[in-house]
Structure 1
């Protein structure tokens, strides 16, 4: 599970029985090497400063050849959680789940119940879908009537980490990181889910907490 905090506006800006697992570039035992492996989560103000962008990357360290044959798992729900009153409990969720070559989005909507299990909010009045972009193809972006934009598909892994040097530093055999370091993830890919949401749909001012979860059908 990945967490972030965003200041909005005032500064610069139904499947049942799903259970949460979390990871970070295959280092979490519960999700290591699985289709529910979350590599990174990003949340930031959009180019349109009235919007927020949420990005979840899954299934990291894909080689180009592996990327062309890897797809989103239809048994894995990706859920963006939004806490608007700073009590560390989600008040809104945006859910994304693949079906037959499309990624379906539901919300922002209040969850049926907060916590580690979820129902998919198929009855939400706010929803959208986008064709999953094939590897090597131009990005397919869809927009719904609420002004949300959506994307799903493979992308180059944006995370920079000199993993070998990190192990040396942690192990006490190196005094610090090199500048520049070596990008361990260069040439590898992830599967990305991106949704851009008007701020008015998640609150127009104040601080929100946000995190992402992968929930697997049991």
Structure 2
């Protein structure tokens, strides 16, 4: 197998465009859509947000943007317009705004007084002019601060799973389920393949919005037998005017403007050119004909050719139009489809008893690009497809990372629990030597480490330092 990476910004949709790179709360990292493996009459949809969450990033951690619209859109008739929208809107609550602490003691329940910061949300289902509230005042699972703060974190996490009509929903942090080697930024390894196979997202978290609904609830006319194919994409909107007062208080008003969009993985990363990425994020699927040229003659095969001398498949690439814009005929292409970038799922195909990470390329039609499961290796699949796997050019391209760093769960929302703050930092650590005492303090480098160090020093000063009283400290300062 030839192991290489794909193209700059290849982390599915992590920081893929200039604007959302500076707006991480509104940056959709990945979208998943699959028939639920343990409940085959339902479909599970998962949209992930906020890339590269360092688990020790306290004391504020990584909340959703309050007041913004986080949407999962469903097109069930192939016209490239949303027929159903599931929308989450969040608000923040501090029980004690006079402390800097995320929690003021051990937490065992989402409603504990010791959980100082909570995010609450409303989940609505929008069908045309009709809006139905599915969850009112739901609570987001908290960040996994650590064992001292949250001795039974899995219980807290599971408390954030809410039952809705015929299904379930969840909002909160999780291990980032996407897996790949991000040495992409080094000119595709510069043809040096000695260090491939390192999962660059190992140890990082994201924030997930997940919903499980009956298949009939999202099928056109409620008939999943006659209309089994749906298209899915995520969007995020925020009000156009953001105001910060002299006192530091923030508010917003004006019309809602779309700033993020994601359907098929890697499209805005390796297909859309950098000058159009923000524009793509603000666009609608019904207008995707304007991006056709980027699909029929993509840049990536030329880049691979320049580094590895692999032949560039003949253009125009109708095979890529099928995968990215219309769905594959006989698999997940709707009748009378309007070409548009969506993640398409044929809900009539049952879950595979033995899923293959390469999905359709390995004759597992329950997997990518028929929807996307958590275990699907979309990097390897798309590399092979871009190099002509669907047109007879068999290849074994890949990045050497074939699975997630931690196992997924067997039931909704299927994601792995988020990494705990002090337990598994993906960044390097350094050691700060103690003064007047033996031993050392390991402190994570970066922002989280700085916060931890400041808090630690503040604690030491309040106590007068090791073995010192407040009076002695004042005398020393004098």
SS in 2 for 1:102: strand
For each residue in 1:41-89, what CA deviation from the matched residue of structure 2 results, as whole angstroms up to 9, or x when unmatched? 1111112111111111111101111266221111321111111111211
Contact 1:169-1:177 at 8 Å conserved across structures: no
Structure with bigger strand share is: 1
User: Using a 3 Å threshold, how does the CA distance of structure 1 residues 85 and 187 change in structure 2: closer, same or farther?
Assistant: same
Find 2:120's aligned residue among 102, 106, 110: 102
Select 1:125's aligned residue among 119, 125, 132: 132
**Deviation of residue 126 (structure 1)?**
4.5
Instruction: State whether structure 2 residue 53 is matched by structure 1 residue 62.
Output: yes
Provide the C-alpha distance between the structure 2 equivalents of 1:104 and 1:159, rounded to a whole number of angstroms: 27
Q: Which has the higher contact order (CA 8 A, sep 6+)?
A: 1
Give 1:44's aligned residue.
34
Kindly report which structure 2 residues correspond to 1:64-103, keeping only aligned pairs within 5 A, or say none: 64-66=55-57, 69-100=61-92, 101-103=119-121
1:214 aligns with 2:236: yes
Q: Give the number of the structure whose alpha-carbon radius of gyration is greater.
A: 2
TM-score scaled to structure 1, two decimals?
A: 0.75
Query: Shift of residue 216 of structure 1?
Result: 1.4
Matched, 1:24 2:24: no
State yes or no: 1:185 paired with 2:201: yes
Superposition misfits of 4+ residues, deviation over 6 angstroms: none
Shift of 1:36: 0.5
Q: SS of the residue aligned with 1:200?
A: helix
Q: Which residue of 2 aligns with 1:115?
A: none
Q: Equivalent residue for 2:211?
A: 195
CA distance in 1, matches of 2:171, 2:132: 21
TM-superposed deviation, 1:148? 2.8
- Aligned pair in 2 of structure 1 residues 195, 177: CA closer, same or farther (>3 Å)? farther
Distance 1:86 1:28, change over 3 A: same
SS of the residue corresponding to residue 19 of structure 2 reads coil
Q: 1:106 to 1:155 in 2, by over 3 A?
A: same
Instruction: Tell me which protein shows more helix as a share of its residues.
Output: 2
Task: Find the residue that maps to 1:30 and give its secondary structure.
Answer: helix
Measured after TM superposition, the shift of residue 176 of structure 1 is: 9.6
Structure 2 stretches lacking a partner, 5+ long: 1-11, 93-118, 145-152, 241-478
Distance 1:151 1:199, change over 3 A: same
Distance 1:172 1:148, change over 3 A: same
Alignment: residue pair count: 181
Distance in 2 separating the partners of 1:153 and 1:32: 21
Task: Report the alpha carbon displacement of residue 175 of structure 1 after superposing the two structures with TM.
Answer: 6.0
- Give per-residue Cα distances to partners, 1:92-146, cap 9 Å, x unaligned: 1111111242222111x3245xxxxxxxxxx7235214311112233221112x1
Unaligned runs of at least 5 residues, structure 1 = 1-22, 113-122
Instruction: Please tell me the root mean square deviation across aligned C-alpha atoms, in Å.
Output: 2.2
Paired position in structure 2 for 1:158: 177
TM value normalised by structure 2: 0.36
